[in-house]
């Protein structure tokens, strides 16, 4: 599942926003700019006399708009493949994979919306046990597990339906505000609107203030609420369908074979590439072209791997995406997605191990549920089925632009043993399809910000191994000595060392200076 913010999480992000930040805040530096960005701009000043080497960053996501004005020149091209000739020129098993691959497409269309993994496990179990006399299975381990899954699924589905009610309330509210202002949604629309329900009276002043201060543009607010509504409503609907049957019809692969590799098509953008395009822009939007934004990294090619639908991604798609990225030259993989069930974890772990053996760095969003990842891990993760821990893995939490007790995003997951560091993830302005730009929040934004920082290191210090890039970034975080508010709590505070392994916030300029022997950070 793409890590998007919805309903209560959306409102908490509104509460979290305090003042308008520069659109490029994720590239700024806490020492030079008093903004807790990645330090990317300062890093380029430090690196001014050093040459870079192009780095390929694979973005495993919902798809990417390869023709966006701020991305088209940084999209990876497979030079061994001749475009649209219907031939697998490089004989890698994928026909016309010029810019990457789409594991969610087939001859009968594209997978856009999917069920959650929990729903798929429940559906499979229900089909199995509906044909059996369950009275004879009281001690059967598989049946006992199914009953637990059923309980968990029904609880999740009820929660999703409650979330849908909440996001529908906001969706209806926006429609009324817009209608009251002759169909135009702007700052005046919120000022002119008088809330007419008790629920609206509670959140209207806060949203009105956020829009008035320019923290969120009206169109961004509308877009985020629409995203949330679409995600939750589709989840509720798709969790009731036979998702395996739909998948087999559209993609044509064998859903029961996790080791299958060759399926899909080259439709890189897919039905909804907003999330993947936004992620890609954070990493590598063309710098200094007088358009849109500057990506964090300056010499990157984005490899597009579409494997993350609106709903939970499938393990085999993620494993195949990782292997494709490794085999085609990516040295960094960004993964802004996650889930809490992984029935085919072994195939993903084998792919992660393969990436580690080929010196590929992997960055993963920690999640947006305000959870302690030390207590409940999401998937994929660095803990392999073999008992090994992947050394090429960075788990990223989301942080805001300014210092203070609310530096950690109110929605971000955390963990003193499982989250490596924090990176910009609140109100990040970036690219979306059709040459547009909006602000989004989430660890989905924090991970590519960290991936961009890692790309700078791999560009200018190509001799470093993936594990060494992780080490230098961890070593050179910006520490914060005061306590910060624990996400999901009202008053609880902890030291940064209790929130992540490194105890701080990513800063690529500190890392660069360390590698160059300049002003080493203690």
Residue where a domain terminates, one of 167, 201, 236? 236
- How confident is residue 8, by pLDDT bands cut at 50, 70 and 90? very low
Q: What is the mean pLDDT of the chain?
A: 93
pLDDT of residue 402: 87
Residue 351 pLDDT greater than 90, yes or no: yes
Answer whether 173's CB lies under 8 Å from 189's CB.
Answer: no
Q: Let me know if residue 42 belongs to a domain.
A: yes
Same domain, 403 and 284: yes
Q: Let me know if residue 492 belongs to a domain.
A: yes
Residue where a domain terminates, one of 236, 261, 290? 236
pLDDT of residue 47: 98
Same domain, 80 and 130: no
Domain that holds residue 209: 117-236
Half-sphere exposure in the Cβ direction for 216 (13 Å, CA): 28
Going along 433-516, which residue ranges are E strands? 436-440, 478-479, 484-485, 493-494, 504-505
pLDDT of residue 1: 59
Average pLDDT for 404-428: 96
Q: Poorest-confidence range of 167-181, 248-262, 318-332?
A: 167-181
Same domain, 412 and 335: yes
- In terms of pLDDT, which residue wins out, 12 or 421? 421
Which H or E run includes 32?
Answer: helix 30-33
pLDDT of residue 506: 98
10 phi and psi angles, rounded to 5 deg:
-65, -45
- How confident is residue 220, by pLDDT bands cut at 50, 70 and 90? confident
Same domain, 60 and 122: no
pLDDT of residue 464: 98
pLDDT of residue 498: 97
Same domain, 94 and 128: no
Q: Let me know if residue 489 belongs to a domain.
A: yes
Q: Let me know if residue 2 belongs to a domain.
A: no
Distance of CA 408 to the CA centre of its chain: 17
Residue where a domain terminates, one of 236, 267, 301? 236
- How confident is residue 521, by pLDDT bands cut at 50, 70 and 90? very low
Q: Poorest-confidence range of 58-62, 213-217, 361-365, 391-395?
A: 213-217
pLDDT of residue 520: 52
Answer whether 71's CB lies under 8 Å from 277's CB.
Answer: yes
CA distance 84 to 95: 8
Average pLDDT for 223-247: 89
- How confident is residue 511, by pLDDT bands cut at 50, 70 and 90? very high
pLDDT of residue 519: 67
Same domain, 79 and 138: no
Same domain, 296 and 435: yes
- In terms of pLDDT, which residue wins out, 171 or 224? 171
CA distance 471 to 474: 5
Average pLDDT for 478-497: 94
Same domain, 454 and 308: yes
Q: Let me know if residue 414 belongs to a domain.
A: yes
By residue count, the chain amounts to 522
pLDDT digits over 287-336, tens only? Answer: 999 999 999 999 999 999 999 999 999 999 999 999 999 999 999 999 99
CB atoms within 10 A of CB 2: 25
- How confident is residue 5, by pLDDT bands cut at 50, 70 and 90? low
Same domain, 68 and 216: no
Distances, alpha carbon 484 to alpha carbons 174, 405, 406, in Å = 33, 4, 6
Same domain, 108 and 135: no
pLDDT digits over 432-446, tens only? Answer: 999 999 999 999 999
The beta-carbon contacts of 125-133 under 8 Å, at least 24 apart in sequence, are 125/149, 125/150, 126/150, 127/242
All residues at 6 or more sequence positions from 126 whose CB lies less than 8 Å from its CB, including other chains: 146, 150
Average pLDDT for 192-203: 89
Residue 14 pLDDT greater than 80, yes or no: no
Same domain, 319 and 222: no
pLDDT of residue 196: 87
- pTM value? 0.92
Average pLDDT for 243-253: 96
Going along 274-392, which residue ranges are E strands? 300-306, 332-335, 361-365
Same domain, 96 and 225: no
62 phi and psi angles, rounded to 5 deg:
-85, -5
pLDDT of residue 292: 94
CB atoms within 10 A of CB 516: 14
Q: Let me know if residue 520 belongs to a domain.
A: no
Prior bond to 380 cis, omega within 30?
yes
Residue 363 pLDDT greater than 80, yes or no: yes
Number of domains in the chain: 2
Domain CATH number, residue 431: 3.40.50.200
Distance of CA 490 to the CA centre of its chain: 26
Q: Let me know if residue 1 belongs to a domain.
A: no
CA distance 431 to 169: 28
The beta-carbon contacts of 236-240 under 8 Å, at least 24 apart in sequence, are 236/157, 236/160, 236/161, 236/164, 237/113, 238/113, 238/114, 238/115, 238/119, 238/311, 239/115, 239/116, 239/119, 239/153, 239/157, 239/160
Q: Let me know if residue 522 belongs to a domain.
A: no
pLDDT digits over 116-145, tens only? Answer: 999 999 999 999 999 898 888 989 999 999
């Amino acid at each position: 599942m793409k890590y998007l913010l919805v309903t209560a999480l959306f409102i908490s992000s509104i509460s979290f926003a305090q003042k308008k930040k520069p659109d490029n805040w994720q590239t700024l530096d806490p020492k030079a700019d008093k903004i807790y960005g990645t330090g990317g701009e300062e890093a380029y000043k430090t690196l001014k006399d050093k040459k870079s080497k192009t780095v390929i960053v694979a973005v495993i996501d919902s798809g990417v708009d390869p023709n966006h004005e701020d991305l088209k020149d940084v999209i990876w091209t497979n030079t061994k493949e001749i475009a649209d000739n219907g031939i697998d020129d490089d004989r890698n098993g994928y026909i016309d994979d010029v810019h990457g691959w789409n594991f969610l497409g087939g001859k009968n269309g594209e997978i856009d919306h999917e069920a959650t993994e929990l729903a798929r496990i429940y559906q499979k179990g229900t089909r199995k046990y509906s044909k059996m006399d369950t009275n004879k299975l009281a001690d059967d381990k598989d049946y006992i597990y199914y009953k637990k899954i059923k309980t968990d699924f029904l609880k999740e589905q009820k929660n999703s339906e409650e979330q849908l009610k909440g996001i529908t309330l906001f969706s209806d509210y926006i429609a009324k505000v817009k209608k009251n202002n002759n169909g135009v949604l702007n700052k005046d629309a919120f000022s002119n609107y008088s809330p007419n329900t008790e629920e609206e009276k509670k959140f209207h002043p806060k949203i009105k203030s956020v829009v008035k201060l320019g923290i969120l543009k009206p169109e961004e607010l509308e877009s985020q609420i629409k995203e949330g509504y679409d995600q939750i409503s589709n989840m509720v609907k798709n969790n009731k369908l036979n998702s395996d049957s739909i998948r087999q019809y559209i993609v044509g692969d064998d859903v029961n074979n996790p080791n299958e590799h060759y399926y899909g098509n080259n439709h890189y953008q897919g039905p909804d590439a907003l999330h993947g395009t936004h992620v890609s822009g954070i990493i590598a939007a063309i710098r200094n072209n007088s358009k849109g934004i500057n990506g964090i990294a300056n010499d990157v090619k984005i490899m597009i791997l579409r494997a993350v639908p609106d709903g939970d991604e499938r393990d085999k798609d993620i494993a195949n995406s990782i292997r494709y990225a490794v085999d085609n030259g990516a040295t960094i993989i960004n993964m802004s997605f996650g889930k809490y069930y992984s029935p085919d974890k072994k195939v993903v772990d084998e792919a992660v191990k393969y990436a580690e053996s080929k010196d590929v760095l992997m960055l993963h969003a920690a999640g947006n549920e305000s959870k302690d990842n030390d207590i409940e891990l999401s998937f994929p993760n660095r803990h392999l089925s073999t008992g090994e821990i992947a050394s090429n893995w960075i788990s990223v939490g989301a942080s805001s632009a300014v210092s203070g007790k609310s530096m950690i995003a109110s929605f971000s997951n955390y963990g003193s043993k499982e989250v490596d560091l924090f990176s910009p993830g609140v109100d990040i302005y970036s690219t979306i399809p059709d040459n547009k730009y909006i602000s989004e929040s989430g660890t989905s934004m924090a991970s590519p910000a960290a991936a961009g920082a890692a790309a700078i290191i791999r560009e200018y210090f190509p001799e470093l191994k993936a594990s060494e890039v992780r080490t230098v970034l961890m070593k050179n975080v910006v520490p914060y000595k005061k306590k910060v508010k624990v996400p999901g709590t009202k008053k609880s505070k902890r030291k940064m060392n209790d929130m992540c392994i490194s105890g701080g916030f990513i800063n690529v300029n500190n890392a660069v200076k360390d590698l160059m022997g300049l002003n080493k950070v203690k």
